[in-house]
């Protein structure tokens, strides 16, 4: 199987199975999406969605969140991972948005990654989801599935992002991020991938390798019995 055949098969399946897809984070503005994505680092979207309604009700904008203290923010987000550093980052990025960007979330990779707590993955989510750019964010799910399936072999998220960007058409990149992420979240899990209910198993390099290994073991066992 060629790499192009693998991409065509995987993307074709996802496009048919999930024609309309987006983030599972709840938000009401570009700023709120940015806050939710920052909170989601090493934390589940489900947990973030439990926290953000009250947080956004109290601090709906960068101007409001800038005026909050870290202790104020911690009252709302104590159950997320690394709450202290995230509270500090949210307060600092809110201040930078107000002071340097006129209260608007910046729209370029360079500007977004200047914000405290915003790395390349968060910036790519904002570019794709908030601004409709052809960006691919590589989180732990996208990184794992891309390597496992054989779409992109890489030791770092940037290497995987570069490979995915090379092979996925611009108009499909934003959706592809969500397709691969959701597949990793619900099917191709880290510890127990559900290969029996996987729609892309016929194009999966890991499954093919696993099956070949199992077949060789069976053949060895049969040969020793003769």
Would you name the residues annotated as active-site residues?
121, 139
| Residue 162 contacts residue 170 (beta carbons within 8 Å) | no
The residue among 102, 103, 171 whose CA lies nearest residue 136 is: 171
DSSP string, 23-56: -S---SSHHHHHHHHHHTTTS-HHHHHHHHHHHH
Enter the tokens of residue 106.
């910046």
d(CA 90, CA 55) in angstroms, rounded, equals 11
CA distances from 118 to 4, 58, 122, 226 (A): 33, 22, 6, 62
Please give the distance of CA 191 from its chain centroid, rounded to a whole number. Answer: 18
What's phi and psi for 145, nearest 5 deg? Answer: -65, -40
């Amino acid at each position: 199987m060629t790499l192009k055949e693998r991409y065509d098969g995987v993307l074709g399946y996802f496009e048919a199975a999930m024609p309309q897809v987006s983030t599972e984070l709840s938000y009401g503005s570009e700023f709120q999406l940015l806050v939710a994505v920052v909170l989601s680092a090493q934390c589940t979207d489900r947990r973030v969605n439990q926290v953000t309604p009250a947080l956004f009700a109290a601090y709906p904008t960068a101007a409001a969140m800038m005026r909050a203290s870290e202790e104020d923010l911690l009252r709302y987000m104590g159950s997320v991972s690394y709450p202290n550093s995230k509270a500090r980052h949210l307060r600092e990025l809110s201040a930078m948005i107000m002071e340097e960007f006129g209260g608007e979330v910046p729209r370029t990779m360079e500007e977004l990654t200047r914000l405290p707590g915003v790395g390349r993955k968060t910036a790519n989510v904002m570019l794709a989801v908030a601004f409709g750019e052809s960006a691919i964010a590589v989180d732990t799910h996208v990184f794992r599935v891309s390597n496992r399936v054989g779409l992109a072999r890489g030791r770092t998220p940037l290497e995987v992002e570069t490979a995915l960007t090379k092979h996925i058409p611009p108009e499909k990149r934003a959706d592809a991020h969500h397709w691969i992420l959701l597949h990793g979240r619900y099917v191709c899990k880290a510890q127990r991938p559900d290969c029996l209910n996987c729609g892309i198993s016929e194009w999966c390099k890991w499954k093919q390798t696993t099956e070949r290994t199992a077949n060789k073991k069976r053949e060895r066992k049969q040969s020793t019995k003769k």
